C-alpha cells in the first residue's frame, strides 16, 4: 500500500437548507472522518490506500464501509463491533468560523472508541509506505491513545508517519490533550498543524515558533488559512530563522461553498505529491489544490482534479498562481474542455 490511514469515520448528515439545527427539516446522508477523508482523496487520485477503523454492526457501519470502499480504498481490515454503534453527526450549512455554526456529535461510546492494540490488525496498519494518523483518535479513549503510542513508537522498518494534529478541545476529557498531541507530533515524520490550533493548544504564535517547538519531525507543515501554508524541512538548521529553511506557498483564492474537509484534502494532496517525490513547493501547491476542491462543494469530500490537471496548475509561475481564482465545478473544467475539443 502507498498509504494506510487509521481512525474513526462517521456518517454525517448535511442540512437541506441553511438555518439552526432546530429548524432544518431534513438532512442528506454523507460520510466524514479525518483519516478516511484523506484515504478517499488519495485513492481517487490513483494511490493504493487502506483505511483501518472500527464501525458498528449496523446499517450506518454498512454504509461507511461501502461508501469508502467505493472510492477504491481497501476496507478489508475494518472491524465490526456488535456491541457499540457507528458514530454519527449533524451540522448546519453555515461556515464553521461563524457563531451560527452548529455541530451535534453522537460518537460517545462508538465502535471506533473501542479500537485498541489488541483488536486492530497491526500488520495491516503498518503495511504502507506512509501511515496517516490524527490527534482525533488519541482523544477517543484510553485504549485509542495506547494504540497511538504503539503506532508512533520509533522502531526499525516503521512506515513514514504522517500526523495531523486536529486539536478538538471538546473531545478531550482533561487538560492533558495539548501535551499529548505535542508528544505524538514529536514522534511523527510529517506533521500538519493549523496556526490557529497551535495557538489554542500550545500558546504558540507564528509558524517559526511552531517549527521551533517541533524539531523532531522531518517536515512540519503549518496551515495559515487565507495566509497560505509553510513547510519547515528539519534537514536544515536554524528553524527559528525562516530565511532559507522554510517553503511558503500562498493560498489560492477560492469561492467557498463550505469550509469542511479542506484540511484533510490538503493533507492528501501533500502526501500524494510526497509519494511522487515532488519538491516541497509543489507538495504545498497540491495540498492547496485539493483543499480548493473540498472548499467548493458542500460536503466533506469532493472529486479531486485529475493528476495531469493538478500538475499543470502546480507548475504555474508565482504570478499566475497568486492570481488564480477557483469556484464550484473547477475540478471538472479540464474534462469539459477536452470534451468540447472532441465534439464536432
Q: Exposure string (b/e) for 92-131, b if CB count within 10 Å is 16 or more?
A: bbbeeeeeeebeebebeebbbbbbbeeebeeebbebbebb
CA gap 193, 219 in Å, rounded:
11
Q: Which whole-number Å values give the CA distances from 301 to 32, 36, 71, 258, 264, in the listed order? A: 8, 10, 11, 11, 9
Kindly state the cell numbers that stand for 94.
453555515
Question: Among all chains, which residue has been given the C-alpha cell 479525518?
Answer: 34
Examine the residue annotation and report whether 241 is marked as an active-site residue of this protein. no
CA gap 34, 264 in Å, rounded:
6
Kindly state the cell numbers that stand for 167.
486539536
CA gap 232, 217 in Å, rounded:
10
CB-based burial of residue 304 (10 Å sphere; 0-12 exposed, 13-18 middle, 19+ buried)?
buried
CA gap 163, 299 in Å, rounded:
23
Give, for 209, the enclosing helix (H) or strand (E).
helix 207-213
CA gap 137, 117 in Å, rounded:
13
Q: Measuring CA to CA, which residue among 43, 94, 9, 68 is closest to residue 290?
A: 43
Q: Measuring CA to CA, which residue among 90, 94, 47 is closest to residue 72?
A: 47
Supply the Cα-derived Rg of the chain in whole angstroms: 19
Q: Measuring CA to CA, which residue among 71, 65, 69, 12 is closest to residue 42?
A: 71
Q: Which candidate in 81, 164, 189, 264 is catalytic?
A: 264
Give, for 243, the enclosing helix (H) or strand (E).
none
Active site amino acids? 264
Amino acid at each position: 500500500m502507498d498509504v494506510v490511514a487509521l481512525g474513526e469515520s462517521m456518517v454525517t448528515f448535511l442540512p437541506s437548507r441553511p438555518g439552526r439545527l432546530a429548524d432544518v427539516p431534513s438532512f442528506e446522508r454523507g460520510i466524514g472522518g479525518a483519516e478516511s477523508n484523506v484515504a478517499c482523496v488519495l485513492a481517487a487520485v490513483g494511490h493504493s490506500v487502506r483505511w483501518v477503523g472500527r464501525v458498528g454492526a449496523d446499517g450506518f457501519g454498512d454504509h461507511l464501509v461501502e461508501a469508502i470502499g467505493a472510492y477504491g480504498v481497501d476496507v478489508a481490515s475494518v472491524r465490526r463491533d456488535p456491541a457499540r454503534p457507528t458514530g454519527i453527526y449533524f451540522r448546519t450549512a453555515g461556515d464553521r468560523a461563524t457563531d451560527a455554526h452548529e455541530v451535534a456529535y453522537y460518537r460517545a461510546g462508538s465502535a471506533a472508541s473501542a479500537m485498541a492494540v489488541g483488536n486492530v490488525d497491526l500488520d495491516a496498519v503498518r503495511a504502507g509506505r506512509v501511515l496517516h494518523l490524527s490527534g482525533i483518535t488519541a482523544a477517543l479513549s484510553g485504549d485509542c491513545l495506547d494504540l497511538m503510542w504503539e503506532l508512533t513508537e520509533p522502531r526499525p522498518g516503521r512506515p513514514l508517519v504522517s500526523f495531523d494534529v486536529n486539536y478538538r478541545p471538546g473531545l478531550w476529557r482533561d487538560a492533558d490533550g495539548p501535551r499529548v498531541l505535542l508528544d505524538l507530533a514529536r514522534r511523527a515524520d510529517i506533521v500538519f498543524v493549523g496556526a490557529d490550533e497551535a495557538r489554542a493548544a500550545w500558546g504558540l504564535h507564528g509558524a517559526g515558533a511552531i517549527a521551533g517547538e517541533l524539531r523532531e519531525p522531518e517536515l512540519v507543515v503549518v496551515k495559515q488559512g487565507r495566509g497560505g501554508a509553510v513547510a519547515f524541512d528539519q534537514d536544515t538548521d536554524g528553524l527559528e530563522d525562516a530565511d532559507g529553511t522554510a517553503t511558503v506557498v500562498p493560498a489560492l483564492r477560492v469561492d467557498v461553498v463550505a469550509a469542511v474537509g479542506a484540511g484533510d484534502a490538503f493533507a492528501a494532496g501533500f502526501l500524494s505529491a510526497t509519494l511522487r517525490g515532488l519538491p516541497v513547493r509543489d507538495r504545498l501547491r497540491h495540498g492547496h489544490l485539493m483543499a480548493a476542491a473540498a472548499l467548493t462543494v458542500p460536503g466533506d469530500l469532493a472529486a479531486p482534479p485529475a493528476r495531469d490537471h493538478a500538475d499543470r496548475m502546480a507548475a504555474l509561475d508565482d504570478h499566475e498562481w497568486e492570481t488564480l481564482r477557483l469556484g464550484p465545478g473547477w475540478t471538472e473544467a479540464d474534462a469539459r474542455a477536452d470534451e468540447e475539443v472532441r465534439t464536432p
